[in-house]
Amino acid sequence: MIELELLKTALLLGGLILLGGCYGILYGIGKLANWWAVQLAGFACYGLQCVIALAVVELSPLTTPWKLVVVIGTLGFFGIPPITWRFVELTHEAEGHT
């Protein structure tokens, strides 16, 4: 039974990372192309990432500190693409690019 729990947890954590990457990529493409539907798809990926984070907390045998890492990391990741995008905009403005 422990092997099955390990596999389940590994798949959930893999999905967490995959959806986080999809959120960042779709957010960036949506902003670059000024295409709201792609940005919305990115936010949907983030929503699914939150659902998987809740599943990890509820279903995995991880200890509480690791579950906190998952929750805090998932909540914190929401701000990474917008902050990075703003940094890129400021960098381009400072170099005189539009």
98 has pLDDT over 70: no
Domain that holds residue 68: 2-94
Tokens at residue 91, please?
């960098």
12 has pLDDT over 90: yes
Tokens at residue 17, please?
């990372």
Residues 6 or more apart whose Cβ sits within 8 Å of residue 60? 5, 8, 9, 12, 67
Give the pTM: 0.89
Mean of pLDDT over the chain: 94
Number of domains in the chain: 1
